[in-house]
Chain A
Amino acid sequence: MNKQYVILIYLLIFAVSAVISAPAFGSEGKNVFINKCGSCHKAGGEAAAFAPTKYASTQWERFFQRSKHKRKKDISAEVTEADIAAVKIYLINHAADSDQPEAVGLR
C-alpha cells in the first residue's frame, strides 16, 4: 500500500483513540454558558439573554473579581466554583474585544 496512505491511516487511528480517551480542554465553559447560564438568560426567561460580546474582556474580569452576579442573584447553589472558572474563561475568550471570525455576510 502507498506509504503515505499508511501514515494517514495510523494518524487517523491515533486521532480516534485520542478523541475517545483524552479529556476536553476548554470546551466546558461553552457548555456551562449554554446550559446553565442559558437556563435563565434567555428570551422570556428570568433574566435577559446576552452574548459574550456584551462586555470587553477587562469588564468580564472585573465582573467575576467583584462577584457582581451576587448583587442580582446568588447562584452559588446552582453552579460550582469549577463552572464559574470555566465560564469566565469562555466569556473572556469571546468578549467584545476578542478576535472575531470574518467572511461575507457573517455577523
Chain B
Amino acid sequence: MKTAFRTSIIILILFTFTGLSFASGDTVSREEFMKVINELKTQREQDSNTINKLSEEIETLKNTKKTTVDNSDIGVLKEDVEELSELMMEIEKKTLLDRVKVTGDLRTRMDWFDYKDDSTGHEEEVHALGSTRFRLLLKSDITENLKFTGRLAMHKNWNDSNYALGSSSFSRSRARTDEDLKVERAYVDYFFSLHEKLPMALTFGRLPNTDGLPTNLHEDTPRRSTFPGLAYDNEGDGVALSLNLDKLTGLPGSALRLLYLRTNVDNSGDDDTIGGTANDDIYLNNENHFKDAQSFIAQLETGFPGRLSGTTFMLNFLMLNPFTNVDPQQFEDAGLSSPTNLPNQLGDIWKLTAYIQSERFLGSNFDWFAGFAYMRTDAEKFSVYSIGTSPILTVGLNTEKKRKLSAQAFHVGMRYRIPWEIMNNAKIGIEYNRGSKYWQGFNGSSEDPLNKLNTNGNVWDVYYIQPINKHLMLRFGHTMVRNHYNNVPIFAPDRVDEKITNTYMLLDAKFY
C-alpha cells in the first residue's frame, strides 16, 4: 500500500514536471530528467532505510519484557508497611514509658599523700590509697516544662567499708565512706513565664550545688554546679527561683538565681516536760545539736555573644544568718567541759564572690578562669572556752576578741587543649588559690581530698587529662598546699606551717 502510494507520487511529480515544462514552452533535456530521477531514487532508498530501522525498533520494543505491578506485589508491600508500623508503635510505647534516662560513671583513683608541719617537725604519709567512686545519673524530661535531674553516688576507699570521715549532711555522698549509694542531688526544674520576656524556673529538692566551677575543667565535663566553688560547694536541700534575663539584656545565658537553704532545729537536751523547750515530740533528730540555720544565696550570671561566647561571668552573694547556734551539749558529748558564757548565737556570715570563666577563649585552645571572694563575719559575741579556770580557746565565730572580721580568697587557673590529633584531645591545666587568715571556704562537699579552696594559705594544682576515647579518660595530678592557719569556724585561727601534697592518678569510665 505504501509502496503503491510512493510510486504514484513519483509518477505525479514526473507528469507535473513534464507538464510544467510543456506549459512554459520549455523543453527538458534528457540529462536533467535523469538527474531528477536519480535524486528521487536516492531519496527513496534513504526513506527505505529509515523505515527498516523504525521497524526493527518496534520489534525490539515488542520483544522487551513487560514489568507490570500486579496485585500480589502490592499485597506484599502492604504487609511490610503494616509490620513496620507495629514495630514503630512498640518502640514509641517503650520510649514513652521510659520516663527516666539512666547513665553513670565509674572512677578508680590512687592517691599519695604527704604531710609535714614545719613548726613541729611532725610528718605523716599515706601512699597508694585506692578509692572507687560509682555514680548513677538520672534524667527525665517529664514534660516540655518539667525536668528531673538526679545523681546517686557511692564513694569509698578500697576494701574499707566503714571509714568514718565525720561526714556531715553537707557531704555525705561526697566523702569516702562505705558502699552505700547516697543521693547527692535530686531536683526538679519547672519552667514557666509570667511575661513573655521573662521566662522563669522554680527548682526544688536536693539542689545541684556541688562540683562548683571550675571543677568542670579538670573533670572535663560540662558545668555541674549552680555556683563557683569559691562561693559555695555543699550538698543542700532547698528551693530556688531563676529568672532568665536573655530577652531583657540581649546577653545569652544571663539569669538571676535566688536560693534558700535551711537546716532545721535540732533537739537541745532531752527536756520532754510539758512546757519545755525540746521538740522531740515533733522533730526527733538529736544528733548535732545545731539549731536553725538558713542560707540565702543570690547569683547574677551572664554569657557573652560573638567572639566571647564560651565566657561566663557570675556575681554571687551568700548570707548565713545565723551561722550556727551553739549547744553546750556538743562539748559535753566530745568529753570537754562546757565553755563559760557561751554565746547563744555565733553570728552572721556574708560572702561576695565574683567569678569569670572562659572556654576556648577567643576561639583559641585556652580555657581560663579567675575568681575573687570577700567575706565578713559578724560575731554576736564571744566567750573564752576554758577547762577549769585555764582559758584554752576563744569561741565566737573566727573571733580573736573582735566582733567583725573580714577575709579574702582568690582562685585562678588555665587549661590548654593540646592541638595534636595524635594526642586525642589531651589537656593540661594549672590552678592557684590563696586564702587569708579568717577565710572560710564553704566547700565541704568538694571531692578534692585536700579541700584546697578552704586553705588559709597558698595552693598550686597541676593536672594532665588524657582521653582514651569518648568514654574513657585518664587524669594525673599534683596538688601542693601550704597552710599558714588552722581555721575552724567557731574558734580563733591557730598559726601553723603545714605542707601537704597529693599526687594522684585516676581512670574515669562514663556510660553516657
Contact = CB atoms under 8 A, between A and B. Distances in A.
Interface string B215-226: 010000111111
Interface size class of B (residues with CB under 8 A): 35 or more
A99 B201 contact: no
B409 interface: no
B244 interface: yes
A105 interface: yes
Contact of A104 (B240, B363, B510): B240
B432 A8 contact: yes
Nearest to A31: B363
B366 interface: yes
A6 interface: no
Contacts of B310: 27
A99 B201 CA distance: 21
A27 to B, nearest CB: 5
Interface string B362-376: 111110100000000
A44 interface: no
B153 interface: no
Nearest to A99: B222
Interface stretch (A14-22, A58-66, A76-84): A14-22
Q: Is the interface of B mostly helix, strand, loop or mixed?
A: strand
A4 B433 CA distance: 11
Contact of B360 (A24, A99, A103, A107): A24
B364 A24 contact: yes
Interface string A68-107: 0000000000000000000000000000010111111111
B66 to A, nearest CB: 31
B364 A101 contact: no
B153 to A, nearest CB: 14
B338 to A, nearest CB: 40
Given A27-B360, A104-B259, A8 B191 contact: no
A31 to B, nearest CB: 8
Contacts of B419: 22-23, 25
A47 interface: no
B417 interface: yes
A99 B224 CA distance: 10
A36 B241 CA distance: 36
A102 B225 contact: yes
B512 interface: yes
Contact of A102 (B223, B241, B242): B223
Given A8-B412, A99-B221, A104-B203, A15 B432 contact: no
B189 interface: yes
Given A8-B412, A24-B365, A104 B189 contact: yes
Given A19-B361, A103-B226, A104-B203, A25 B417 contact: yes
A24 B224 contact: no
A30 B309 CA distance: 10
Given A4-B458, A103-B226, A105-B203, A22 B257 contact: no
B444 interface: no
A31 B307 CA distance: 10
B363 A103 contact: no
Interface residues of A, number: 24
B149 A107 contact: no
Contacts of A30: 309
Contact of B365 (A18, A101, A104, A107): A18
Interface in B215-252: 216, 221-226, 240-242, 244
Interface in B239-291: 240-242, 244, 255, 257, 259
B191 A103 contact: no
B414 A104 contact: no
Nearest to A23: B419
B257 A97 contact: no
A8 B434 CA distance: 13
A105 B240 contact: yes
* Most chain A beta-carbon neighbours within 10 Å: one of B200, B224, B366: B366
B27 to A, nearest CB: 72
A11 interface: yes
B365 A22 contact: yes
A102 B209 CA distance: 10
B112 interface: no
* Most chain B beta-carbon neighbours within 10 Å: one of A8, A24, A26, A103: A103
In the complex, the 8 A-B pairs of residues with the closest C-beta atoms, listed nearest first: A105-B242, A105-B201, A101-B223, A101-B222, A24-B363, A104-B203, A104-B240, A103-B226
Given A99-B221, A106-B223, 20 more contacts: A8-B412, A15-B414, A19-B361, A19-B366, A22-B419, A25-B365, A25-B417, A25-B419, A99-B222, A100-B222, A101-B222, A102-B225, A104-B201, A104-B203, A104-B240, A104-B257, A105-B201, A106-B242, A107-B147, A107-B191
6 contacts: A19-B364, A22-B419, A104-B208, A104-B240, A105-B200, A105-B257
Interface of A: 4, 8, 11, 15, 18-19, 22-27, 30-31, 97, 99-107
Interface of B: 147, 149, 185, 187, 189, 191, 200-201, 203, 207-208, 216, 221-226, 240-242, 244, 255, 257, 259, 309-310, 360-366, 368, 412, 414, 416-417, 419, 430, 432, 458, 460, 510, 512
